[in-house]
Structure 1
Amino acid sequence: MKINVEIECTPEEARRAMGLPDLAPVHERYVQLMVQAVEKQATPEAFEALVRNWAPMGEAGMNFWRTMFESGSKTGG
């Protein structure tokens, strides 16, 4: 037996239904800090170092997200 359930809701409604916290203020602050850092140190090398320091698990975390996004963008056939 196979049952499919489709639910139409916004990401905000889904987050609340699953009991997940609202991280919008954290995201806004993170972006604000990144903008400030880029304005102070506008070189690409400085920005890369900044992102590597802020990223969870450093290089391993960045590779995890890159792999996940790449696999998600491939079409299944």
Structure 2
Amino acid sequence: MRLTIDIDCTPEEARAFFGMPNVEPLNKMIVDEMTRRAKENLDTLADPERFFAQMAAMSGKGFEQFQNLMAATMGGASGGAKRK
């Protein structure tokens, strides 16, 4: 026996129905902050010399964490195994 139910509702209505929290204010705050930071650093991104100087300033642990983040991202995107 097969039963199909079509429910026509908005994502907000579905979240409320399942008791999930409304994260729109948090999402807006994060997007606004990222936009502000991107605007502040726009001249840095446009100037390769300044960009690489900023990247070179990341030393030791910071650079290692950045590498680990990139490796994890690439591994997740390709479906590869996680590194330990």
Question: TM-score category by the smaller chain?
Answer: 0.5 to 0.7
Aligned-residue offset at 1:62:
7.8
Consecutive unaligned residues of structure 1, counting only runs of 5 or more, are 50-57, 68-77
Aligned-residue offset at 1:63:
6.7
Query: TM-score, with normalisation over the residues of structure 2?
Result: 0.53
Query: TM-score, with normalisation over the residues of structure 1?
Result: 0.57
| Aligned position for 1:71 | none
CA distance in 1, matches of 2:9, 2:26: 23
| Aligned position for 2:39 | 39
3-state SS in 2 of match to 1:28: helix
3-state SS in 2 of match to 1:26: helix
Q: Provide, for residues 22-49 of structure 1, a one-character-per-residue CA deviation record: whole Å limited to 9, x for no partner.
A: 0000000001111110111111787xx9
Which amino acid in structure 2 is aligned with residue 34 of structure 1?
M
Q: Provide, for residues 44-65 of structure 1, a one-character-per-residue CA deviation record: whole Å limited to 9, x for no partner.
A: 787xx9xxxxxxxx4446875x
Which amino acid in structure 2 is aligned with residue 10 of structure 1?
T
Structure with the greater alpha carbon radius of gyration: 2
Q: Which 4+ residue blocks in structure 1 deviate beyond 6 angstroms? A: none
| Aligned position for 2:2 | 2
Consecutive unaligned residues of structure 2, counting only runs of 5 or more, are 56-68, 79-84
| Aligned position for 1:15 | 15
